[in-house]
Structure 1
Amino acid sequence: MDTQIEQDTRNTQGTQRTHTLDELDLAIVHGLQIQPRVPWVRLGEVLEVDAVTVARRWERMVRAGVAWVDGYLSPGHDEGVYAQIEIDMDGRLSEDTIGRLARDPQVLSLKQTSGGRDLLAIVGAADLDGLARLTGDRVSQLPGVRAVRSHVITAAPFEGASWRLRSLTRRQRAALTVERPSLPAESLRPLDRQIALALGIDGRMPLTELAAAVGASAATVRRRLHVLTGTGRLSLRCALARPLTGFPVSVVYFGSVPAQHLDETVSALRTLPGLRMCSITAGAHNLVLDIWLPTLSEVHTTEALLNSRLAHLDLRITERAVVLRTVKHVGRVLDRRGHSVGSAPLNYWDA
């Protein structure tokens, strides 16, 4: 995995020009947010553009690192244990330590933040003992790390795969929307994890290539993809570099709400336009919200809105942290512009 990251980094170094996207580019991204593996012919029909043009535009965005599709096992449905971990450094951020965390297959996301911690990460492990070993034996022993605090995620009712641009018309959105079948839950298979790992590198990997990558027949992989997406176990998302979304500011709010009000609070939070992830945790804060905003000035107005709108549910925002830099986003390693330079997908089961 290091080789993939290093190669992609070399390909982007020295290319600091700003990439601009036009309306068609944004429409393609929006279409892939709705149906990440939609055939180019179908997307072209909806957008009334030739499929070759759509594919060429997408390839250009991928090469520039401004957009990508990847897959991962959803924290809300996976059989593993996930946690938000706060990492305090000893007064100086080590780029070596940050790089090692970004390449770590048990680290799903990594942010450098303001406030009461230097780094905030989402990590995965097979069980609670695996989480203890990850934080106590590995992360805490990295150069410059002074303290690590873990907040186990008990549920993730909202995550970034649900976030959408607003580039398509109602008719276009309806044409691309496919009802997810309601399938009974079943245990994850080793093959399912290998599929998620391969799609973490390229979520639009053609079925024949995906089958070859995981060592199974195309028919079997197609069937397992149907089950994984139908049960919500596998999340596929089309991501766009945050500076290009119109929401360049990312803020993490730490809040607390009485346990009996959690479900109603989550339902109310779904209407927030910039909400990227909502985690329910077992810790000092039982609610962690990742929200994207248009400007820094909205950090406090958004908090005021949350407090006033949800006052009847006794929500209290106890702390907030502005994201200074996103180092890794759902298995995707980013440069300082928020552009993809490689992938290190989640893989805690081989740890």
Structure 2
Amino acid sequence: MFDAMDFAIFNALQISPRISWARLGQILMIDPSTLSRRWSRVTRERRAWSSCFHAVNDRMEDLATAVVEIRCRPGSRERVIGLLSHEAPVVSIHCTSGARDLVLTVSLPNRIAVDRYVDQVIGPVPGVRRMETSYVRHFFKAGSDWRPQALTAAQARAVAATLPSAAVDPRPNPGLLELIGAIGDDVRRPLSELQRRVGRSLSAVSRGMDTLLVASWVNWRIDFSHELGGWEELMLWLDVPQSELDDVAATLRRFPQLRWCSSLTGTANLIATVCVRDLTELDEIEGRLAERFPAARVTDRCLVPRIAKRMGHVIDHDSRLTGYVPFTAG
């Protein structure tokens, strides 16, 4: 299990992924070597991990993203997971309760590519019994925005202040994309190692990293095993009047439990995932929505007892990282 120091480290790195241990130690009033050893331990034990990828923009909205619900034949779920978890377009795989066995997030350059991929790659997988595909219309909140709420407001501001500033959003170029590849599975990789990997001067690598930290088209992620951290994840499908869609999403965003929220095509036009310590927290969320938006209806809800893949990271039954399949924009 994780403790308060672990969560503080995760929270801080989610805000400023490459903050120095010395500066973070000053903010948290913890010895920097202790912080460094703790991060090394949880990553070595595969309980926490990091990634960085070119997401076109920070919400991946220039890609076609679909939510694919799969019903498996009895006893075949693990085989389906094994065959799909190493597919790069299958960004995430959630094992769920209820009417479906798996919920996949699939991203490709356009909807034609997604449609072909679902039909020709996912559909023929042995054990897949039924599929239902909904396309993401708009991302209201990305999973990388979720925080464990382990820092005070003052600490969070101090951590954010360590990020470089930029007057304009930098544009992608081959050198920056090469750097992203060098830190794709470890955003804390030292500058000296990055220098060896890309064959550029230390100062050029340092400038490139500062550029990536402020680029809207770069997605930085610090993830950890929610199961080992005492969280449970749930999914909600909602049917919301179009005129209220933005307001319902804004209300959901005010809940710290909200991890991901997107509008969809289909009867359920809004999907949300929430991370809770106790299932009773869902009562508060649904109750507040029902009180404020009586025309909005939760059409389905399910528990996510296991996450088999999250944003390219393959996760085992013990909620530990087993591999990384880099996400590419096409």
Q: Tell me the TM-score normalised to structure 1 length.
A: 0.82
Paired residue secondary structure (1:83): strand
| 1:175 maps to 2:166 | no
The Cα shift of 1:218 comes to 5.8
**Contact 1:40–1:54, Cα closer than 8 Å, also in 2:** yes
| 1:329 maps to 2:310 | yes
Query: What residue is the counterpart of 1:265 in the other structure?
Result: 248
| 1:234-287 deviations in Å (ceiling 9; x for gaps) | 22122221024342x211101122223222222211111211100112222221
**Contact 1:108–1:328, Cα closer than 8 Å, also in 2:** yes
The Cα shift of 1:48 comes to 2.3
Paired residue secondary structure (2:119): helix
| 1:205 maps to 2:189 | yes
The Cα shift of 1:184 comes to 5.4
Paired residue secondary structure (1:141): coil
Q: d(CA) in 2 for partners of 1:192 and 1:82?
A: 24
Distance 1:26 1:327, change over 3 A: same
**Contact 1:253–1:317, Cα closer than 8 Å, also in 2:** yes
| 1:167-225 deviations in Å (ceiling 9; x for gaps) | 33333222111377576567755655554454441122234434554676666665555
The farther-off stretch of 72-81 and 97-106 is 72-81
Q: How does 1:269-308 map to 2 (within 5 A)?
A: 269-308=252-291
Distance 1:151 1:185, change over 3 A: farther
Unaligned stretches of 5+ in structure 1? 1-19
Paired residue secondary structure (1:201): coil
Distance 1:246 1:325, change over 3 A: closer
Q: How does 1:1-351 map to 2 (within 5 A)?
A: 20-72=1-53, 73=55, 76-178=59-161, 181=165, 188-189=172-173, 194-210=178-194, 213=197, 225-247=209-231, 249-311=232-294, 314-349=295-330
Distance 1:93 1:218, change over 3 A: farther
Q: d(CA) in 1 for partners of 2:66 and 2:198?
A: 28
Distance 1:103 1:197, change over 3 A: farther
The Cα shift of 1:76 comes to 1.8
The farther-off stretch of 125-134 and 187-196 is 187-196
Q: d(CA) in 2 for partners of 1:216 and 1:137?
A: 42
Letter in 1 for 2:314: V
The Cα shift of 1:87 comes to 1.4
Letter in 2 for 1:84: V
**Contact 1:77–1:232, Cα closer than 8 Å, also in 2:** no
Distance 1:42 1:336, change over 3 A: same
Q: d(CA) in 2 for partners of 1:254 and 1:190?
A: 40
Q: Tell me the TM-score normalised to structure 2 length.
A: 0.87
Unaligned stretches of 5+ in structure 2? none
The Cα shift of 1:80 comes to 1.9
Letter in 2 for 1:98: I
**Contact 1:198–1:210, Cα closer than 8 Å, also in 2:** yes
Distance 1:208 1:137, change over 3 A: farther
Paired residue secondary structure (2:40): helix
Instruction: Determine what percentage of the aligned residue pairs are the same residue.
Output: 30
Letter in 2 for 1:272: F
Q: d(CA) in 2 for partners of 1:154 and 1:190?
A: 30
Q: d(CA) in 2 for partners of 1:193 and 1:101?
A: 26
Q: d(CA) in 2 for partners of 1:61 and 1:183?
A: 36
The Cα shift of 1:289 comes to 0.2
The farther-off stretch of 89-98 and 184-193 is 184-193
Distance 1:282 1:231, change over 3 A: farther
**Contact 2:58–2:218, Cα closer than 8 Å, also in 1:** no
Q: d(CA) in 2 for partners of 1:259 and 1:216?
A: 51
Distance 1:196 1:123, change over 3 A: farther
Distance 1:299 1:25, change over 3 A: closer
Distance 1:244 1:153, change over 3 A: same
The Cα shift of 1:340 comes to 1.8
Letter in 1 for 2:104: A
